[in-house]
Structure 1
Amino acid sequence: MTDKAEKLMGLRRTLIWLYEGVGQWPVTFRWGVLIFDVATISYFLVSPFLGTPGEHFWLDYVIGTIIALDLAARFYIAPTKRRFFTRFMNIADAIVVISMLAPFFSQNYAFLRIIRALRIARAFSFLRDDSPMSSYLRLHRIVIERAINVVVFLFIMSAMVYADQVNRVGSDVKNYLDAFYFTVTSLTTTGYGDITLVGWTGRVLPIIIMLLGVTLFLRLLRALVTPTDKAEVECTNCGLMRHDRDAVHCKHCGQVVYVENEGFDH
């Protein structure tokens, strides 16, 4: 084996250890990746409201480069590379990288970056330690995921309105805040009427938003405020993952299970 091949094998082993291994350094590395995800997602959420689009090109390039390196590292250690880009989250990361590094994406279509918020689900795939934060995230995983879905849905719909209407003559949408305001009032079926859209797409978009508001959005909100009747606790005997929140024994095998809860009112 050549020196170059040995170095590549060493790099591969190191990356697998960091992304999938156990121990202090891998966990610290993955916590760092998670913190980076949260920071960049927060930036993507607030950046439409900060100044003129395109003011922070240098920050876009830095974030895009880091995400690209992370994506390349995960692709390099993937056991089946042909299936790597069949996963939605990997496709989403590739789209985000393009939107960060390609100048023609830097204005109206920058909303594509918000889909990276779905990567917060990464937190639940590696937090296996017994820290209070890890336990809290695992216990409230479903609620957190549904909250993220609601936020992503709101911002994507708002961005679609912004991208379609901001440069149109006669449109009341002058900035991203106007688009966000219009989307929220449409989704909640309030419809104050102080902001209107123009063109045939200005009629189709509100129809789509209101239909989704009556179906998807309201269901997401209901799921968010209504606690689930199932808890994800693995049975140590048969491996069944979902149990009733007040379960004492596994329904499948009868093994005693320990479900964390805050008590029940009777």
Structure 2
Amino acid sequence: MTSQSSRHPADDGKPSARLKAFWRFRAKLRALYHGDSPAAVRFRLAVIGVDLVLIAFFIAAPFLRDTRAFLPLDLAVAAILATDLAARALAWRSLKSWIRRPIVLVDLFVLLTLLFPTVLFNLAFLRVLRIWTLFHSDFFWETIGQRFDDTRWEDVIRAAATLITFVFVATGFVYTIYVGEEGGVSGYVDALYFTVTSLTTTGYGDIILPGMGGRLVSIVIMISGITLFVRFAQALFRPYKVRFSCQVCGLARHEPDAVHCKACGALLNIPNEES
């Protein structure tokens, strides 16, 4: 028979002090990342500010790559991003549901390019995908963009972020693959110039990507760029429709002053500033 004094402290079923401290830490992170208190809002604004600085570093990286400060900066950015992702994971209700989100998967890939800069050197241009993940995240719209959430400006900003992300991703790809090759791409600015002229179908012809692969890349940039630009223009100029799901047919977009659903005729109760 086991004596009372020889029982392990955890055998009584009560959580240990260390586990309680971990739960309190998670609760504090959840309050900061998802709470509505003034302290939580200030914290999230600071995090978004750091995100913008990281994005600026990713855009400027091609110009800094040959400097001595680039590698220490790269590792410092990796530490900041890893800390932020770990904190977001702990603040989320379930790690499994958090890691399955497409935005999180993109951020994890960006982190890998920072942690292994030599192995994933040719994929470093994909770090600018952080622009897309920031401006498409609930974290951003629940904090700095709350005033414009579910409005025309949300659609415009999302479309603009997607277009800008595409421009820098395409520029990075052209720079990584074709710099120094025949065709005139001698630096990052040349790659950006080629991407913009291809996207706008200006086609001055002073820079041409060589070979069949270069022609295919040019076609993809032109078609994808025009599509994203048209989407941005539509979000900016087309008549705005509010997001409100009809309880009968599920139609998600309606005129701001709609009383009945135009698809099924059901009575709507769209909230506005006056209601």
> TM-score band, normalised by the shorter chain?
0.7 to 0.9
Offset, 1:171: 4.1
Identify if the C-alpha distance between structure 1 residues 26 and 242 changes in structure 2 by more than 3 Å, giving closer, same or farther.
farther
Residues 250 and 257 in structure 1, CA contact (< 8 A), matched pair in contact too:
no
Structure 1 position 96 matched with structure 2 position 107: no
1:121 is matched with which residue?
136
Describe the superposition over 1:182-228 as per-residue Cα deviations: whole angstroms up to 9, x where unpaired. 111111111111112224422221122223244x2342242243244
Distance in 1 (alpha carbons) for counterparts of 2:97 and 2:147? 32
Structure 2 unaligned spans of 5+: 1-14
Structure 1 position 219 matched with structure 2 position 230: yes
Distance in 2 (alpha carbons) for counterparts of 1:143 and 1:107? 33
Residues 48 and 140 in structure 2, CA contact (< 8 A), matched pair in contact too:
no
Distance in 2 (alpha carbons) for counterparts of 1:250 and 1:59? 56
**Pairs within 5 Å for 1:185-264:** 185-214=197-226, 216-232=227-243, 242-245=253-256, 247=257, 249=259, 251=261, 253-255=267-269, 257-258=271-272
**Pairs within 5 Å for 1:1-266:** 1-49=15-63, 52=66, 55-104=69-118, 107-118=121-132, 119-122=134-137, 123-127=139-143, 134-136=146-148, 139=151, 140-168=153-181, 170-214=182-226, 216-232=227-243, 242-245=253-256, 247=257, 249=259, 251=261, 253-255=267-269, 257-258=271-272
- After alignment, is 10-19 or 134-143 more displaced? 134-143
1:153 is paired with a residue whose SS is helix
Offset, 1:243: 4.0
1:103 is paired with a residue whose SS is coil
Distance in 2 (alpha carbons) for counterparts of 1:56 and 1:234? 49
Corresponding letter in the other structure for 1:179: A
TM-score normalised by L of structure 1: 0.80
Corresponding letter in the other structure for 1:31: L
Identify if the C-alpha distance between structure 1 residues 218 and 18 changes in structure 2 by more than 3 Å, giving closer, same or farther.
closer
Describe the superposition over 1:137-176 as per-residue Cα deviations: whole angstroms up to 9, x where unpaired. 66411111111011001111111111111143x3411111
Identify if the C-alpha distance between structure 1 residues 127 and 45 changes in structure 2 by more than 3 Å, giving closer, same or farther.
same
Offset, 1:114: 0.5
Residues 124 and 138 in structure 1, CA contact (< 8 A), matched pair in contact too:
no
TM-score normalised by L of structure 2: 0.78
Identity %: 31
1:6 is paired with a residue whose SS is helix
Corresponding letter in the other structure for 1:58: P
Which of the pair has more CA radius of gyration? 2
